[in-house]
Structure 1
């Protein structure tokens, strides 16, 4: 069972902690196994909002599939050398280390920002850029992933970060279900538009269409015949096509293509080749992916867009 370890620092912002913790807790409740741990350099951890917290002093044994998250804090609250060492060691062993808001400072102190892209709360960006000149600050985005180091902006963006990580591990359908349980928006890669494909097309009230979207979200990399989608909704093919298009303005095939394109863009941003990204999202080769990217580029630059 993958572990999610939250490192608590005095003066931490409650939502920096509670947002990601709720996301992974909800994911566990939905059957995506996670084991949450809370550690600190002292037992009593005061939050900036005044709620006292307690945490363990002993870290669990970490494996490469585990995640360490450092929530942000208010004021000057640097981590100790032992915590910095643990962060660096987990990353060196292949694990993922993430931060919310000022938590990026802890990653910087552990040497994990040097040579990497990162982000943080907009009020802290200038100071962090000066403090870690070997890092590349990315402004005005929700989160940035670079080589097993994931940094997010302030406060509520920790939820977006958690949903992103859940989607990477379990797929976009899992992230959508967690987002729905939390009554929040699902987000996509921080370098891309903030509202992802799934969320942009979920503002309707057609239950049968939602059921089909759930199926496509879960299996968008697979061939999904229209008759099978219609059967899952208990309607005919023509009825499904009509309802689906009326609800979201897209056919089921086009919706699936956009999910594939969004995931492929994410893989490309992380260094994947065009061919590998295409195959990972269900295309036989890169030709269709290139065609969809050209179409998306044309749509963005057209006068009507």
Structure 2
């Protein structure tokens, strides 16, 4: 891969574009193409692109970032020229990729038919309805199927790009890029889009949010209920009732254990031994981690199939 071509549509999300561009920057020639030279991003920043496509080789990559729209149907529609370019590049043995709503472009090009794919969790049902011949994999970071690579929303484009970088240059080189970007070395495609820190924050209880802030920052440490209650300025009983109600049934301890388990699964998915993962997340040994894994059904953080 010597060149990465980004296909930009009106309302392009900046992080969908900038995340992968930062991963590939310095190693490849980056080209930005669009119907018009000037377009406006979803965040209001003007973007300049070129209207002429470069000559592509088989090893080059075409990537379609997502854009701002309430639904896929309501979003901008790629031109037939762009769809034809996607089809032709894939037919010639090249790789095409998308971030978030960019999967719509691959679907319109017919490249999702018979393949696994994903998109942002808010758009997954619509993607499945619009392209019934595709297999939409829900709540994963990215999928790889026959040189068609799709990722979920926003920051997951970085994970997709690091995966492609690693496939070409090896995990050590990808880890160096990730380190420069100050992100995880690389999250596996099968990991969930929404972490526990996000799943249990959809409430309006400020007291519980303050306690969650403390747990999120120190979940590897012992956090007795008395300390959490003192931090919130309420009694232990009041905190337990409020926390359970706000998080849909979790006590502060169960919430902390959920964070520990999720982090341990990430470490194990990246090659850590059970014992070392348990100790890193705050358990004295692996026995408690094994019990939690047996109690809770956790999807293995395996690598996506090629």
Does the alignment reach a TM-score above 0.5? yes
Q: 1:169 and 2:182 equivalent?
A: no
How many angstroms apart in 1 are the aligned matches of 2:292 and 2:43? 46
Equivalent residue for 2:37, pick from 38, 43, 48: 43
CA radius of gyration, larger in: 2
In the comparison of the two structures, how many residue pairs are matched?
201
Report SS of the residue matched to 2:112.
coil
Q: 1:128 and 2:124 equivalent?
A: no
Report SS of the residue matched to 1:151.
strand
Map of 1:7 onto structure 2: 7
Task: List 4+ stretches of structure 1 deviating above 4 A.
Answer: none
How many angstroms apart in 1 are the aligned matches of 2:84 and 2:173? 33
Map of 2:271 onto structure 1: 258
Aligned-residue CA RMSD in angstroms? 2.4
User: CA contact under 8 A between 1:144 and 1:189: conserved in structure 2?
Assistant: no
Instruction: Map residues 140-155 of structure 1 onto 2, 5 A cutoff.
Output: 140-155=139-154
Q: TM-score, normalization: structure 1?
A: 0.62
Map of 1:61 onto structure 2: 55
How many angstroms apart in 2 are the aligned matches of 1:193 and 1:120? 12
Name structure 2 gaps, 5 residues minimum.
70-74, 194-267, 273-286, 294-306
Q: TM-score, normalization: structure 2?
A: 0.62
How many angstroms apart in 2 are the aligned matches of 1:143 and 1:79? 22
Cα 1:156/1:188, change in 2 over 3 Å: closer
User: CA contact under 8 A between 2:141 and 2:191: conserved in structure 1?
Assistant: no
User: CA contact under 8 A between 2:140 and 2:192: conserved in structure 1?
Assistant: no
Name structure 1 gaps, 5 residues minimum.
195-254, 260-298
Cα 1:131/1:304, change in 2 over 3 Å: closer
How many angstroms apart in 1 are the aligned matches of 2:102 and 2:148? 12
Report SS of the residue matched to 2:32.
strand
